[in-house]
Amino acid sequence: METRTFLYIILSVVALILIAQYFIYKTKDVIHSYSNEKNEWSELICKSEMKILKKYAGEIPFGPIFIHLKTDVQNIFKKEFFSNWFYKTDKGVLFQKWNSNPLKKKNLQNITSELIYIDFMSRKEVVVLSDIKSFWLEIKKDEKNHLILVMNNVTSKEELKLSIPE
């Protein structure tokens, strides 16, 4: 009777080890395939006038993801860092562009960004707001359908009415 119990325990331990190895290898495959996808350009916005592509640039632990952008045909973006946040309008798109590489900064409190607007027809970049010190942005509309930018930091929340070139 003791031998049979001992064999059941050994078989159970071996089965648990095999199951654990299966899940570990399966997880590694998923992570590996995701990292390959992150290093490729993928479509972010496609309008008849312009196609904007994005590529993963990095992320801050417990913080935002950063991307590089480029446009099809003639690229209007340099190798700059953008937040993965954007807001699309009928005639263009808003992006948060960082003034320096946020991934190399040790003190993130001193880093700033700009809110830029890209017009689809003219393919021009217009700075809507500068010296933004927030990683988390949101757009909402007021009762008159004006765009309101909500900047949410850990310590404060600020709302600003935006005027976008039409």
pLDDT (average), residues 9-20: 85
Q: What is the pLDDT of residues 80-114, one digit of tens each?
A: 888 888 999 888 999 999 887 777 766 666 778 89
Distances from the Cα of 80 to the Cαs of 68, 83, 109, 116, in angstroms?
A: 6, 10, 19, 13
pLDDT (average), residues 56-73: 84
The continuous run of DSSP H or E covering 17 comes out as helix 2-38
Q: Could you give the 3-state DSSP secondary structure of residue 28?
A: helix
Given a cut of 90, whether residue 117 has pLDDT beyond it is yes
Given a cut of 90, whether residue 31 has pLDDT beyond it is no
Structure confidence at residue 36 (pLDDT): 52
pLDDT band at 38 (very low <50, low <70, confident <90, very high): low
